[in-house]
Amino acid sequence: MASEKHFKYVILGGGVAAGYAAREFAKQGVKPGELAIISKEAVAPYERPALSKGYLFPTNAARLPGFYVCVGSGGEKLLPEWYSEKGIELILSTEIVKADLSTKTLTSAAGANFTYEILLIATGSSVIKLTDFGTQGADSNNILYLREIDDADKLVAAIQAKKGGKAVVVGGGYIGLELSAALKINDFDVTMVFPEPWCMPRLFTADIAAFYEAYYTNKGVKILKGTLAVGFDADANGDVTAVKLKDGTVLEADIVVVGVGGRPLTTLFKGQVAEEKGGIKTDASFETSVPGVYAIGDVATFPLKMYNELRRVEHVDHSRKSAEQAVKVWLSFVIY
């Protein structure tokens, strides 16, 4: 028979929002055994932005336990022992593949069931892959993405294996910019490719982008704008050797890093909660259309007072604050 465990509170997802929510639960006096975090990742919640920065340094690279939450906002580092001391169960390496909000049951890939009274959805985003579009050769080896610590470890291994080689970075957003810089300081010959007229087009004006592009160019990063990767060549081992661009250019590559955006992980809840702008719709306290179910971090589409409209925000500070808000404002009523 499938195993079943019950918790008063479950946080689904073990990223930034989950870690900050756990700290707030502890502040609000959650009792041992009441709260569980269920995460696909094998490690306790950590500050995800470190993965594209200190984690990729050629020397003195950041490693856990150095960047567990809540160190990113100047708080105490929540080591795995912190959770056990508070009686908060960390259920790691556990992917939830089914969520039934009517019976308040989550089912893992291994068939275990978890029931709850209050659920916090903190599943974050997943990266968009070029294989999703059927781009020719996009499943070759050494075409890499970055979202979780496992991806960062693969990237570090490829950087070490191909050091001094040629790297192509696909995408001109913050991931593309940060990874181009990281590959450059790891002695790669780096080319960035993106279809827009300038980098970070959603955030930067042409002038601001020109400043950054000049800075990167001076550091030796080549920037190709207004074109995109339409295919990849690989050798007999399946390792990528070249990137084919829409304008006909072919770039040699030992390693390709793709940063073309993410999408919020809401599929488990399709048809069960109201959605808006690609995320799960919440009120100002991050409660969804289903009472007792909250959405925090990247997945939440919430009323942003400043703009007087519903917005979804992929930002680490929002993850921290939405988590604290959801626990503090509403769940504190339930705890006492």
Question: Which positions lie near ligand FAD, rule CB under 6 A?
Answer: 13-18, 38-41, 48-49, 51-52, 95-96, 122-125, 146-148, 265, 268, 297-298, 314-317, 319
Q: How many CB atoms lie within 10 A of CB 248?
A: 8
* Residue closer to ligand FAD (CB basis): 30 or 280: 280
* Spatial distance between the Cα atoms of 229 and 247, rounded to a whole number of angstroms: 9
Q: What is the dihedral of CA 94, 95, 100, 103, to 10 degrees?
A: 0
Minimum separation from the CB atom of position 238 to ligand FAD (A): 25
* Residue closer to ligand FAD (CB basis): 242 or 299: 299
Contacts of 33 (CB under 8 A, 6+ apart): 7, 87, 89
Nearest to 109 by CA among 122, 121, 96, 100: 96
* Residue closer to ligand FAD (CB basis): 258 or 265: 265
């601001």: which residue's tokens?
Answer: 208
* Spatial distance between the Cα atoms of 264 and 257, rounded to a whole number of angstroms: 20
Contacts of 57 (CB under 8 A, 6+ apart): 182, 185
Q: What letters, b where the CB count within 10 A reaches 16 and e where it falls short, cover 114-137?
A: bebebbbbbbbbebbebeeeebeb
* Residue closer to ligand FAD (CB basis): 77 or 245: 77
* Spatial distance between the Cα atoms of 328 and 300, rounded to a whole number of angstroms: 17
Vertex 255 angle, CA 254 and 261, to 5°: 155
Minimum separation from the CB atom of position 90 to ligand FAD (A): 11
* Residue closer to ligand FAD (CB basis): 242 or 312: 312
Nearest to 35 by CA among 119, 93, 148: 119
Minimum separation from the CB atom of position 262 to ligand FAD (A): 7
Minimum separation from the CB atom of position 41 to ligand FAD (A): 4
Minimum separation from the CB atom of position 20 to ligand FAD (A): 8
Query: Strand, helix or coil at 98?
Result: strand
* Spatial distance between the Cα atoms of 160 and 29, rounded to a whole number of angstroms: 46
* Residue closer to ligand FAD (CB basis): 124 or 165: 124
Tokens standing for 307? Answer: 């703009």
Residue nearest to ligand FAD (CB): 15
Minimum separation from the CB atom of position 151 to ligand FAD (A): 8
Minimum separation from the CB atom of position 13 to ligand FAD (A): 3
Minimum separation from the CB atom of position 22 to ligand FAD (A): 11
* Residue closer to ligand FAD (CB basis): 242 or 256: 256
* Residue closer to ligand FAD (CB basis): 18 or 26: 18
Minimum separation from the CB atom of position 124 to ligand FAD (A): 2
* Spatial distance between the Cα atoms of 46 and 43, rounded to a whole number of angstroms: 8
* Residue closer to ligand FAD (CB basis): 34 or 298: 298
């690989």: which residue's tokens?
Answer: 234
